[in-house]
Structure 1
Amino acid sequence: MAVSQTNLAWATLLDVGPAARGRRRLHDRLAHALRTAIRDGRLAEGAAVPPSRALAEELGCSRWVVTEAYGQLVAEGFLAARVGSATRVSWSPDTAPSPRIPRTRTPPPVRYDLAPGLPDLRAFPRRRWADAVRAVTGSAVDYDLGLPDPAGHAVLRTTVAQYLRRSRGADAHAASVFVCAGVTDGLVRTCRALRAEGIADVAVEDPGWGRLRDAATSAGLRVHPVPVDDDGLRVDDLARTPARAVIVGAAHQFPTGTVLSPARRARLVRWAREVAGFVIEDDYDAEFRYDHHPVAVMQGMDPGRVVLLGSVSKTLSPALGLGWLVAPAVLTPALRAANLVAAAPPVLDQLALATFIDRGWYDAHLRAARRRFRSRRDLLVATLGARVPEGRVAGTAAGLHIVLHLPDGTATRAAVRAAAAAGLRLADLDDYRAPPARSAGRALVLGYGNISDPEIAPAVALLRDALRSGSAETP
């Protein structure tokens, strides 16, 4: 088979300095450098080395030096030379003996994914997103291709502010919006800004998403877990902590699925005013409410005390790495300073998202996603009722996950292990507690974003078997 003439090794860095292993003659040093590059894999098998005349000119030596080095490597089997063709690498690290590597157990492949955290990746609007990227690539002005504004491109900040005002009831404008790489990134920036303002303690929901706790800790804040009940965060318990900031999922708390009640919302805003602190509102899963229209954000109740975090990770894809935060004016200077140490998302991606929203494609995608997820949730709940009748489904009809409460004595941890061995991903509710609890409850968190409708029945069948296997495993 003919080898591609474009597979050339002309740009490989070669160390031919006089100190290379004490070699004094230049052709020996060049042969050593080429041999090392081939053994390291920097010169791949089949790659063409430069013509002797070109390499000699590059190195500032005679052509004889290069031909001598090439001839030595041909004799050693590292290079192959054919009349009328380029000299090519004929040796690969793959052909050399390799040390014995201890065998490790490979986890079984995932057949069905009932773990929370992902949207329907199969439904990503590839064509529309490609259209948006193509449009902004062709229309971006020279200024757009320069150093990005750490706060985000003005076009996307304006678009996000307009979107949040009309769809989430937020009190947002372009100057208050900061573009970030997602909710976690936005939270890290916010926590750095809070620390700069003299706030050292932050409260989190318990149970809650562990990555948010880790983000607050990484920013240097002390974290205080606060319990969650059927009405959401227990504000009276919050008031007994030294925290002056709290991270809360008001629209759809993860993982319990509760919605912060109106009374708790009002009490939480009052608390922030009383302690001169801030509520950090994670607008998690807010776009997916199936029983009625989504509840407006808390940020609109007091934009001076509530920071709003959001992203497209659950609506489009986490691979895009695009999110936003809406900040009170008092935190804007500290946030701008915090943004200087964080990388802004790529400008063309920001402009593509702005185009995707402005052309109505985002709203259309969300409408289709809501119909799909509502139907899939109903199917999952019905299938669980038929095959796992001892379980009780909890959580508001919203988002991309449910909580399955199981009878006392159910070994959920053993069931998660048994399911993983069968290729089914599950999550134990206790894994989201701080610190992880051993026997606080018997519940599983089941996500239905990244599973197709036909996969639900066999996935639930494996879940039923795993629960039985886990119970048998427990003495």
Structure 2
Amino acid sequence: MGDSWATSGSDLHLELGGPRLRAGLAEALRDAMRTGRLVPGSRLPSSRSLAVDLGVARNTVANAYAELIAEGWLTAQQGSGTRVAQRTKPRRAGPTASRPQHRAAYSLLTGSPNLAQFPRREWLAAARRAITAAPHEAFALGDARGRVELRTALADYLARARGVYADPDRIVICSGYHHALGLIAQVLKGRRVRAVAVESYGLDVYREQLEKGGLRTPPLEVDADGARVADLADLPGVGAVLITPAHQFPTGVALPPARRAAVLDWARSTGGLVLEDDYDGEFRYDRAAVGALQSLDPDRIVYFGTVSKSLAPGMRLAWMVLPASLVPEVVAAKGYLDWLSSSLEQLTLAEFIASGSYDRHVRAMRLRYRRRRDQLVAALAPGFRVSGLAAGLQAVVDLPPGTEQSVIAAAAAQGLEISGISEFRYGSFPPEKDALVINYSAPLDTEWAGALETLCRVLA
């Protein structure tokens, strides 16, 4: 079979100009290298293949290549073909040319579990089983609610592990919690809700997601017992409240029974919704797991869950368990087809859960994180009060008033990234204490001792 442009090797788009083909080809190649379309080390098509693609004589290409090799633009080696030569980049002028770029040696910032512990082998095994058993239609765009296999596995897991009432038909899979919150904001706006109350401590990115959806976000004070839900009655126009009842972020407080009952009373009496973020519900250490609030009134609560803390945030898989009345509106907001969440990732997670691998991984990580937590407390005792210890992936270390920013700066000077609690504060509720929020889960095993030693040195 003869060569054709469709089968003759690597693709290379070139614009040839002028009557002299060899000179035009050489200049087009120079331009591609100057502009970065051909980067150092790139392998060029053979002279025969490129000649076929361009509709020119093979000698024309060979001669152009030879000219560029002589000029130092290209290199040619037997068995390696013709490649773009490695070139030394010119130094930038100005004072920034020699400025060193410092990277923190250690990080105790919040937001991530221990990524080195992702169960790669077990995940690959689950993926192999899931893809082998997958029906052909799983490779097309599917139900906006997500794959039924994952929704079924989640319904079983959430009922068993978190006490959630979770019918598969009331679960919607999303591309992360941020996506899920955006969908709910769209639905609430469509229902003419004007405001969603949010806790006075939390991540601003989620508050901004609600505001982007056209909703106001009045702050709800958080004290030693969690969100002061009784204050909802004093917030005009609020049609929903976003809370972290099992483990408030970042303070670590669990909402006590009286306040759980109070927020449900508010929802029932006003027709409002409770948005329950159960971001790290699997990780409990010193007590039995605090069950999800959703089980107390599935028709008034939207339950959010995710694998961001249990597996990895880069997986971009989250779910909502919805009141039945909200399902059609959320599906409409999502677009009737699942455009964002990979069906193959969903099938793999479904298999990972159904096989028991998810439970085994969570138990192993729970033990690992508890040991880390105990090491943190032992290293800081007795000089510092550490709270938020019963659950989760982070702890709060109280500081003397007025010292938070200076401690963060001192840590940075010693190569340690760390967050102060003021970073997560929203609103102006006194007292505003100074504290550090320590993510003891994230550092690699090879970095943990150094991170802890540096923290203690800074606090000393």
Residue in 2 that maps onto 1:362:
358
Residue in 2 that maps onto 1:55:
50
Task: Find the aligned partners of 1:367 and 1:169 in 2 and give their Cα distance.
Answer: 18
Amino acid in structure 2 at the alignment position of 1:406: L
Residues 1:80 and 1:378: Cα distance change in structure 2 (over 3 Å): closer
Residues 1:61 and 1:420: Cα distance change in structure 2 (over 3 Å): same
- Decide which of 109, 130, 154 is 1:136's aligned counterpart: 130
CA-atom RMSD, angstroms? 2.8
Q: Which stretch has the larger CA shift, 284-293 or 70-79?
A: 70-79
Q: Which stretch has the larger CA shift, 437-446 or 213-222?
A: 437-446
Residue in 1 that maps onto 2:28:
33
Question: Following TM superposition, by how much is the alpha carbon of 1:141 offset from its aligned partner in structure 2, in angstroms?
Answer: 2.7
Residue in 2 that maps onto 1:13:
13
Say if 2:185 and 2:213, in contact at 8 Å, map to a contact too.
yes
Say if 1:145 and 1:347, in contact at 8 Å, map to a contact too.
yes
Residues 1:433 and 1:81: Cα distance change in structure 2 (over 3 Å): closer
1:223 partner SS:
coil
- Decide which of 391, 398, 411 is 1:405's aligned counterpart: 398
Say if 1:108 and 1:422, in contact at 8 Å, map to a contact too.
no
Task: Find the aligned partners of 1:374 and 1:96 in 2 and give their Cα distance.
Answer: 49
Task: Find the aligned partners of 1:326 and 1:449 in 2 and give their Cα distance.
Answer: 27
Number of positions where the alignment pairs a residue of Structure 1 with one of Structure 2 = 449
Residues 1:378 and 1:74: Cα distance change in structure 2 (over 3 Å): closer
Residues 1:370 and 1:66: Cα distance change in structure 2 (over 3 Å): closer
Listed one character per residue, the Cα deviations across residues 146-198 of structure 1 (whole Å, up to 9, x for unaligned) are 22433211110111111111111111111111111222221122112211222
Residue in 2 that maps onto 1:3:
none
Say if 1:51 and 1:86, in contact at 8 Å, map to a contact too.
no
Residue in 1 that maps onto 2:4:
none
So what's the TM-score if we normalise by structure 2? 0.89
1:284 partner SS:
coil
Say if 2:419 and 2:436, in contact at 8 Å, map to a contact too.
yes
Residue in 2 that maps onto 1:223:
217
Amino acid in structure 2 at the alignment position of 1:420: A
Please list, as runs of the form range in 1=range in 2, the aligned pairs for 1:375-394 lying within 5 A after superposition. 375-386=371-382, 389=383, 391-394=384-387
Residues 1:86 and 1:226: Cα distance change in structure 2 (over 3 Å): closer
Gap runs ≥5 in structure 1: 1-7, 469-475
Residues 1:80 and 1:293: Cα distance change in structure 2 (over 3 Å): closer
Please list, as runs of the form range in 1=range in 2, the aligned pairs for 1:154-169 lying within 5 A after superposition. 154-169=148-163
Task: Find the aligned partners of 2:196 and 2:438 in 1 and give their Cα distance.
Answer: 28
Task: Find the aligned partners of 2:442 and 2:150 in 1 and give their Cα distance.
Answer: 28
Task: Find the aligned partners of 1:70 and 1:453 in 2 and give their Cα distance.
Answer: 51
Question: Following TM superposition, by how much is the alpha carbon of 1:217 offset from its aligned partner in structure 2, in angstroms?
Answer: 1.9
Residues 1:56 and 1:78: Cα distance change in structure 2 (over 3 Å): same
Question: Following TM superposition, by how much is the alpha carbon of 1:433 offset from its aligned partner in structure 2, in angstroms?
Answer: 0.6
- Decide which of 290, 296, 302 is 2:291's aligned counterpart: 296
Residue in 1 that maps onto 2:247:
252
- Decide which of 441, 450, 458 is 1:449's aligned counterpart: 441
Amino acid in structure 2 at the alignment position of 1:161: A
Question: Following TM superposition, by how much is the alpha carbon of 1:455 offset from its aligned partner in structure 2, in angstroms?
Answer: 6.1
- Confirm or deny that 1:213 pairs with 2:207: yes
Gap runs ≥5 in structure 2: 1-7
Amino acid in structure 2 at the alignment position of 1:178: V
Question: Following TM superposition, by how much is the alpha carbon of 1:464 offset from its aligned partner in structure 2, in angstroms?
Answer: 3.7
- Decide which of 318, 332, 348 is 1:352's aligned counterpart: 348
Q: Which stretch has the larger CA shift, 242-251 or 72-81?
A: 72-81
2:287 partner SS:
coil
Question: Following TM superposition, by how much is the alpha carbon of 1:432 offset from its aligned partner in structure 2, in angstroms?
Answer: 0.5
Residues 1:443 and 1:39: Cα distance change in structure 2 (over 3 Å): same
Please list, as runs of the form range in 1=range in 2, the aligned pairs for 1:55-204 lying within 5 A after superposition. 55-63=50-58, 65-80=60-75, 88-89=82-83, 91-92=85-86, 94-95=87-88, 97=90, 99-100=92-93, 102-103=96-97, 104-111=99-106, 113-204=107-198
Question: Following TM superposition, by how much is the alpha carbon of 1:350 offset from its aligned partner in structure 2, in angstroms?
Answer: 0.9
Say if 2:75 and 2:85, in contact at 8 Å, map to a contact too.
no
- Confirm or deny that 1:336 pairs with 2:331: yes
Identity of aligned residues (%): 41
Amino acid in structure 1 at the alignment position of 2:122: R
Residues 1:59 and 1:166: Cα distance change in structure 2 (over 3 Å): same
Residues 1:27 and 1:313: Cα distance change in structure 2 (over 3 Å): same
Q: Which stretch has the larger CA shift, 200-209 or 247-256?
A: 200-209
1:296 partner SS:
coil
Say if 2:9 and 2:49, in contact at 8 Å, map to a contact too.
no
1:402 partner SS:
strand
Residue in 1 that maps onto 2:5:
none
So what's the TM-score if we normalise by structure 1? 0.86
Listed one character per residue, the Cα deviations across residues 95-139 of structure 1 (whole Å, up to 9, x for unaligned) are 36454362445234323x333322233322222112112222333
2:332 partner SS:
helix
Say if 2:276 and 2:302, in contact at 8 Å, map to a contact too.
yes
Task: Find the aligned partners of 1:345 and 1:176 in 2 and give their Cα distance.
Answer: 17
Say if 1:156 and 1:350, in contact at 8 Å, map to a contact too.
yes
